């Protein structure tokens, strides 16, 4: 019995000690509103996109695919979800990726989490007037920089290998057209009934 009373008193004292810390936390409603506002410039990405893309391997050989993207807001617009697929001429999928773009209103930073080709990462994202830039570290003094320009229903994204002391070398290009709306991913939510 004595142990139970001690446990209850300890729990109560921890709860009281935590209360001032909890009171200092930012209001979740304000944080979510700030996340939505941060991502608002990327609303032009929402929908279904299709076009051509190519990548270049280390030998300089290009590989071309038909690229599709489906993009939509999630969590009421607090994050943006992206699925990309690269199709070979025979219709098979040779590339499939999932990405989540987010804004941290406390740190005032954007992030792009990506899963593709057995790899994953959380990469810095910078919004521009007409799109965004995200970078992937590839080793000491080297990155891959992806620059996307989205305007008038078109999306052009270029990937460049950038290493210290060398000019940027293009290794990727995607040219897409918006082909329609999408209710994905929120449109498939499970109802309460």
Pick from 64, 174, 137: which is nearest to 145 by CA?
137
Do the domain assignments include residue 165? yes
pLDDT at 6: 45
Question: Does a cis peptide bond (omega within 30 degrees of 0) precede residue 185?
Answer: yes
Domain enclosing residue 63, as ranges: 46-184
Residue 102 lies in a domain: yes
Query: Do the domain assignments include residue 116?
Result: yes
Judge whether 18 lies within some domain. Answer: no
- Beta-strand ranges (E) seen in the chain are 47-56, 62-74, 79-87, 93-104, 109-116, 119-128, 131-139, 142-151, 154-163, 169-180
Question: What is the pLDDT at residue 9?
Answer: 41
Return the CATH number at 75.
Answer: 2.40.128.20
Mean of pLDDT values over 56-71: 95
Side-chain-side CA neighbours of residue 118 (13 Å)? 1
**Predicted TM-score (pTM) above 0.75:** yes
95-113 per-position pLDDT tens digit: 999 999 999 999 999 999 9
Identify whether 37 is part of a domain.
no
pLDDT tens digits for range 151-180: 999 999 999 999 999 999 999 999 999 999
Domain contains 64: yes
Report how many domains make up the chain.
1
Q: Phi first, then psi: what are they for 59, rounded to 5°?
A: -80, -10
pLDDT of residue 73: 96
> Is residue 27 assigned to a domain?
no
Residue 22 counted as domain residue: no
């Amino acid at each position: 019995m004595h142990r139970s009373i001690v446990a209850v008193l300890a729990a109560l004292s921890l709860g009281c000690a935590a209360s001032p810390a909890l009171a200092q936390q930012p209001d979740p409603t304000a944080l979510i509103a700030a996340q939505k506002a941060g991502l608002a410039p990327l609303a032009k990405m929402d929908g279904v996109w299709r076009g051509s893309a190519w990548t270049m391997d280390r030998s300089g050989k290009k590989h071309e695919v038909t690229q599709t993207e489906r993009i939509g807001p999630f969590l009421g617009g607090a994050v943006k979800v992206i699925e990309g697929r690269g199709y070979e001429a025979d219709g098979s999928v040779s590339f499939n990726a999932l990405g989540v773009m987010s804004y941290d209103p406390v740190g005032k930073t954007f992030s792009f989490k990506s899963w593709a080709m057995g790899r994953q990462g959380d990469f810095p994202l910078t919004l521009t007037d007409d799109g965004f830039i995200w970078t992937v570290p590839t080793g000491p003094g080297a990155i891959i920089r992806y620059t996307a320009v989205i305007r008038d229903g078109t999306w052009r994204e270029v990937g460049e290998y950038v290493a210290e002391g060398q000019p940027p070398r293009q290794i990727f290009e995607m040219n897409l057209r918006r082909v329609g709306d999408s209710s994905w991913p929120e449109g498939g939510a499970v109802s309460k009934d």
